[in-house]
Structures are given as C-alpha cells and as structure tokens.
Chain A
Amino acid sequence: MIALLVMLLGCISVGDAPFQEGLTALRAGDSTAALSGFERAIAEGARDPAVYHGLGNALYRLGHEGEAVAAWRRGLALEPRNGDIEANLDHVRKGFKDRVEPPKMHRGAFFWQSFLAPIETGILAAIALALGLWIAVLGRWQRLRGGSVTSSNLRLTAGLSVLLGGVLVVSTVDAVEQRRGAVVTVDEVDVRSALGPSGVSLFVLHEGAEVALEDETETHCLLVLSDGRKGWVNTRALRSTNPAHPFVFSD
C-alpha cells in the first residue's frame, strides 16, 4: 500500500529520457556520457535512488570516488533498503585513507528510519493523521444530525492515530535534517579551528571521508567527525549528501 502511495504521490515521472540515456551510456562503458545524462535527470527533478545509483557508478568509473560516495549516500537516503548501493559504498570505503566512521543514517529512537525512507514515513504520518481526523469528522457529523455521540473506542482510535501521525511527522523531519552530511571530494583538505586561513589547522581529511555538518556559511562548513572532532572546511572541498540539493560535477 505504501509503495502504491509512493507511486501515486510521485506519479509524474520526471527526467526519464536523460536517465535512460545515462543508463544506456553506462552499460556501454561511456561513463562521461552517463554522467552527463544522470546530471541532466537530476536537474530536471529526478531525485530517485536509481539516478543517484547510476550517477555514483559513473563517477566511480571516472575515478572520482569521493563524489561517487556522495551520490550513493544520496541514493541510500532516499531508499535505505537498497542493498546494491550499500554494497557499493562498502566496497569503495575500503580504499580510503581516513578510517572514519560514516555518520549514522538514523537515530536509535526512530529505528524505522533504517528501513523506511523519509517519504515513506511521511506517507504513513499523513495516513495516520488522516484516519484520526476522518473519525473526528464522523463524530462531528453525527452530532450535527442529532445522533448519538461517538463511542469511546472510536475516540481512542482517533487519538492514537493522531499521536502516531505526530511521531511519524517528527521522524520524517528528523530524517530530512539528518541528511546534513557531506563527503570530502578533494585529495586532501585542512580542517581548521576557524573560518578561513586565520584558523589553526586541526587535522587533515582525505578524499572519501564522510562527515556530518553542524553549521554552514556561504563559503565554509563546520564538520563533525563520528569521534566528536570538529572544524571548519571550505565548502568547495565537500559534496553534500542531501538528495534535495543540486548535483553539478565539474572536473
């Protein structure tokens, strides 16, 4: 039912043609053309796990492993159950220089985030809220017609539905917020204690290091490693893992 609703909600397919072009080029071994196709698909609004999967594969074939990780992370954020993307990430992480744990994709309290995409939790939230509200509408209608008041069981169901819907709304917002991550895409970057060159170099990160972002300015990001270390780095050295962000690769 959720899959059906997902399909209904996104029934307007976008970026189909460039995606197919990218897929065909990727299968033919032309990674540059594939990259172009997938980028156009994303620019047209096709923020789909398959597109990001293909984009990551094309970037990996072209030797840009950091960018590939960012693309796959975006795909996984949209479809946490996609084992293929997860396998690709595991494969490429082994070759990176920095042994840093990638930021967690979900919170312990919202365990369902590990297998439900934010759009799916959003739909469940909408359904739960709608169920509770429809029961409330029924009760109100009966009262207007002078009929009997709604039974306590029905009122309890409505209350629980609204409560569940509220929790799922919070979970959805949290899942979207947790995408404030990024991947280092340059060979080596200094992480500094302050914005710009005035800061002291705290540590060095290398391509493929996956970090969480705590703060962002126009030019710099405050990143946090899984061991708690944090520092500022130029935005140009990072690629966001938020699938809603644009993805324009320039070699």
Chain B
Amino acid sequence: MILALIPMALAAELSLQIDTRTLVVGQAVPLKIAVTNGRAAGIPELPVGPGLLAQYQGQSQQHVIMNFESTRITEYNFQLAATQQGNWQIGPVELEVDGQMLRAGPVTVEVGAPPVSHRGQPVVATISDDSPVLGQVVVYRFQFQYDQPLVNARWTRPEFPGFVEEVNAEAVQREYQLMQDGKPATVQTIEVPLVAAGTGPQTINPAVLTAQFRAERQRRRRRSMDDIFGDSPFGLRGSTETKTLATEPVSVEISSLPLTGQPTAYSGLVGRFQAKLKAGSTTVKLGESITLEYTLTGNGTLAGFKVPQASGTADFRTYDDAPEIKTKLMDGRFRSRLLVRRAVVPEREGVITIPAIDVTTYDPELGQYVQVSTAPITITVTPGEEGGGIVSSYAQTGGDQREAVASLGEDILPVVSDGAVRDRTVDAAKVWLAAIPGVPAALWLVLSLLGLIRSRAPDPMVDIRRRLKNLPSEDSARLQAMEAIFRETAALLLGVSVHGLDGLQVSEISEEAGGLYSDLERSRYGGGDAADLESRLRSFVGGAR
C-alpha cells in the first residue's frame, strides 16, 4: 500500500518519443506519447506537419520498480509515415493528466528524398551535381535496396578521378526500412563528400557490391537445424546465395572558376555561405577583453580557410583561437560550419567600432563571386582598474627597462676592397684544381706501368733455344757455346748458379745429363764426338721444362 501511495506523491510527466529525427519519403517509424506517473483522460491528439502522417496504433502500460520507487508509464503508440520532403514539426501535445493540463514540446523531423529508382536496379550510384566547378563540394551517393533477407554485404569503393575527399567530413552510412508497392524493403545508403579538384570530363567507375542473401526454399521440407537457428551463423551453411551487383558509371564535367571578374580578395571558398559575428558583451573595461564569435555556415568546404583579420587600427588588438569546423552530410546535402572565437582587447576608452568581416566566395548556383559580410559591432570601453590597459605602468615594477637599439640613418654597407679582383669561381680554377692531384696521379700511373714492365722478365729458355739454333760454325767456338748452353740449362733445372755447377750436381738431373756433362768436359780438351754431342744437347735442351 505504501508503494502504491508513492507514485501519487510524484509529479506526472508527459513526453513525446521518436527513434529518429531524419526520415525519407515513404519511411514509417514508431512514435510514442508517454505519460509517467499519471492517469490521462482520453487519447492524446498528435498534430503533425503536412508532410507527415500519424496513425494511432493503441496504448500499453507498464510498471517499473527501481530503488523502492514505482513508476507507472502509459504509452500511446502511433505510426508516423513521411510523405513529403522538408522539415516538419510534430506536436506540441497537450493532455489532461490527473486533472492537470500537461504539455510535451514539439519535435522537428527532417524528411529527405525517397530512394532513387533506376530501371529497378538494386544498386544505384548518383552524384549531387554532375557539372560542378573547381573547389565545389559534391556528394557521391551509393544506394542498395533489397527485399530479401540479407546475410552480408560488402561494398567496394570506386576511385574518384578529378576529386579529393573533403578533409573535415567522413562518408556516412545509413539504413532504413520502408514500404514500397505494398512490400517492405530495406535501403542502405553510403554518401561520400568530394571536392572537385581537376577540371574537364571525369568518370567515376561503377561501384561493386557483393551481397549474400538467404536463399528462398522452393518446396516445403522437413524442419532442419537451419530453420531452428534462423539468422544465426549456424544456419548459413548451404542456404545463402551470393550476388555481385554493380552500378552504372557516373560522368561528371568539372569546370574551372571564371578568371574574369575574380576579385583580388577572393578567399578560395566555393559554395553558398552565410556569416555572423556576435559579441559576448558590448561593454568592456579597459584592460579586459571581450570575445567575438565569427560563424560561417554553408555548403562548401572550409578546409584551409583563414578568417581575415580586422583592418589595421590602433583602437584594439585581436587574438584568434583555432577554428572549429563541423560538417554534416544528409541525403546528398553537405553542410559545413566554422566557428572562430576572437578575443578583442581595446586599447582606449570610449566607443569602438569593430569593422565587419568580409569574405569573397564563389556561388556556383548564382555563377558569380559574392561577398559574404557580417555587420560591424560597436562596443563601449569604460575606464578600467587602475593602470589597466596601460602597458607603461609595468615599467615601474622593476622589470627589464631596456629599449631596442634604434637605427639611425640605416643604410647599406660600402665595398671594402684591397684593389685586386680576380675570378673566384670554381670554373675559372678548375685547371689548377685538377692539376694539384693530377700530377701525383700521373706519376703514380707512370711508376705503376714501370713496375708492371719490370715484373714481366723474359723466359731464359727462349734465349737458350735461340742460341742453340744459331750455333757458331767454327768448331772451338761452337763447342764453347754448346758447353755454355748446357751449363745454363742445367743450372736452370737445378735452380743454382751457373758458376758453382759441378758434375755431381748435374748427375742429379739424369744419368744422361751427367754423361753429357763429362763428354763436354772431355771435348774441351780434344776428346769425344762433337756431332754426337750436339744432337744429345738438343735432346737435353728440348726435354728441359
């Protein structure tokens, strides 16, 4: 009983609940009007905009007990269907609860374009503008519509020649259900914001989607494990059908910005923009600051944009915060917003006018350059605290009181010359520069060649054979030459000096050599046969290696 009394003590509430604020034409979503801790008299009326249709579905009730507190919630369920594009309001809802009139505030929903239909194709690729100008933001939209149970789908992103992706925005993926021709269908969309970067005709290749659908059974069969698990991974085996779907290519013609009539102060922005300048306060004490908020909203990219500074004035100084850029992408529409907070420090008392901020942009819809301006802001500067805003007051506090060195009659410095000038380039000295290392290099080369020549000594056997061929005709000289040839050959074979050669050493070569040596010795003193000696010597020299 105590628990039942508690809700009576709590105040009743009325609320309007909807799952999403963004719909497309043909989409239907549930909507609830909830009454908490109260008893309503009758069914609430739900006023909706002309682009929406609300149908009452019935009511439900539930009790929730949490931390010994009982909450009773009565929900009135509606089905909300979108019929026209635009921003539509739902509510406000007024309902008498426990004798008291309660009110739930209105909710605005944005209804976008219905899915694109292209000859009944399940996948369609479109672009928000097929003839943009350089720097304009366009939205590439990939749409996949299906009415079969889908298991898995993978999208292959195409290349975007002539475009770069907008740096402050990301691709947006969305999925919703709708009724089409009396059948439920699911639509998945992927939107990619792009900035036109190259002029001329461009073609975006087809986007490819690989989808796995659950195969429909043709005839009734026995209940299997697949039927029991339904969509679970266990039920996929042998019951899916893979399809590869491709869109048509998208052709785009990007034109350059008109150069004629381009203002010198053109900011580089392309799109339709609105600017607003707002002051946090219009009265400020000298030495203090106020904050201005500069907001630039539009449908173009704001990447790299810098807010122009106020024209030079001695009345105030300004300091800018880093700009905040936010973007939104919805149904092919790109929105960007830049916010810069600028601190303004007045430098004198009285009324100060902060001039308007002018930004020149190019509007592709109008096809011309336009100036987006804010209104000037007037602020009143009152006397500050003692010494506030007067910088010279710090000079008395013992700080660094030195001043910068002032230049008097600043000018260029004259030539100090010793009178002799010459060519100081490398080109002029390259002969000398090459000669300094060139001389030792050449010398090293000569010495290397010399060493090479010296190292190549002639073969002594060649000389011996030549002498053997040309023996003198006179007998004693012939014999002397033969003996010399024998001794040199034997010395070479033994590796000893010719002068120290004796019979014992020669006999080490061979018995025949020893005999020849003895016969040559004998012939020197008149014995032996010289003709036989010559043939034996030729045989000995011929066999020497």
Query: A residues near B, CB below 8 A?
Result: 6, 9-16, 19-20, 23, 26-27, 41, 45-51, 53-54, 56-57, 60, 78-79, 84-85, 87-88, 91-92, 117-119, 122-123, 125-127, 129-130, 133-134, 136-137, 140-141, 143-144, 165, 172, 176, 200-201, 243-244
Contacts and interface: CB of A to CB of B under 8 A. Distances in A.
A129 B437 contact: yes
Contact of A122 (B417, B433, B439, B444): B433
A11 B422 CA distance: 7
Given A20-B419, A140-B447, 15 more contacts: A10-B423, A11-B422, A13-B420, A57-B414, A87-B412, A88-B413, A91-B411, A117-B424, A119-B426, A122-B426, A123-B429, A129-B437, A134-B440, A143-B451, A144-B447
B314 interface: no
B99 to A, nearest CB: 74
A60 B422 contact: no
B519 to A, nearest CB: 41
A41 B167 CA distance: 57
26 contacts: A6-B424, A9-B429, A11-B422, A16-B419, A16-B420, A19-B421, A46-B422, A47-B424, A49-B424, A53-B415, A60-B412, A84-B414, A91-B410, A91-B412, A119-B424, A122-B429, A122-B430, A126-B432, A126-B433, A126-B434, A133-B441, A137-B447, A140-B444, A140-B448, A140-B451, A144-B451
Interface in B398-417: 410-417
A58 to B, nearest CB: 10
A127 B436 contact: yes
Contacts of B410: 91
A20 B448 CA distance: 51
B450 interface: yes
Contact of A45 (B412, B419, B428, B429): B428
Contact of A14 (B421, B429, B433, B444): B421
Nearest to B416: A84
A1 to B, nearest CB: 13
A92 B451 contact: no
Contacts of B454: 144
Contacts of B433: 9, 122-123, 125-126
A26 B436 contact: no
A45 B440 contact: no
B437 A10 contact: no
A172 B436 CA distance: 16
Given A88-B413, A143-B451, A47 B425 contact: yes
B324 interface: no
A220 to B, nearest CB: 20
A23 B415 contact: yes
A14 B423 contact: yes
Contacts of B437: 126, 129-130, 133, 165
Contacts of B448: 140
A78 B425 contact: yes
A130 B424 CA distance: 21
A13 B420 CA distance: 6
B475 interface: no
Most buried by A among B256, B415, B426, B454: B415
B427 interface: yes
Contacts of A118: 425-426
Contacts of A53: 415
A15 B430 CA distance: 20
Contacts of B420: 13, 16
B444 A137 contact: yes
A41 B422 CA distance: 9
A12 B422 contact: yes
Interface residues of B, number: 37
A45 B423 contact: yes
B443 interface: yes
B261 to A, nearest CB: 14
A249 B429 CA distance: 26
A92 to B, nearest CB: 7
Contacts of B451: 140, 143-144
A48 B429 contact: no
Q: Which 5 A-B residue pairings sit nearest by Cβ, starting from the closest?
A: A129-B437, A133-B440, A10-B422, A126-B436, A48-B421
A109 B256 CA distance: 44
Interface string B292-316: 0000000000000000000000000
A172 B447 CA distance: 30
A50 B439 CA distance: 33
A177 to B, nearest CB: 11
Contact of A130 (B416, B419, B436): B436
Contacts of B443: 137
A176 B426 contact: yes
A119 B430 CA distance: 9
B426 A50 contact: no
Contacts of A26: 414-415
Contacts of A11: 422
A56 B413 CA distance: 11
A119 B428 CA distance: 9
A144 B447 CA distance: 8
B134 to A, nearest CB: 10
Contacts of B417: 19, 23, 50, 54
A96 B419 CA distance: 33
B415 A54 contact: yes
Contacts of A50: 415-417, 421
Nearest to B439: A130
Nearest to A242: B425
A19 to B, nearest CB: 5
B424 A141 contact: no
Most buried by A among B420, B425, B454: B425
A16 B259 CA distance: 53
A176 B144 CA distance: 62
Given A133-B437, A133-B441, A244 B425 contact: yes
Contact of B429 (A46, A119, A243): A119
A141 B415 contact: no
Contacts of A133: 437, 440-441, 444
Contacts of B259: 201
A243 B425 contact: yes
Contact of B423 (A19, A47, A176): A47
A142 to B, nearest CB: 10
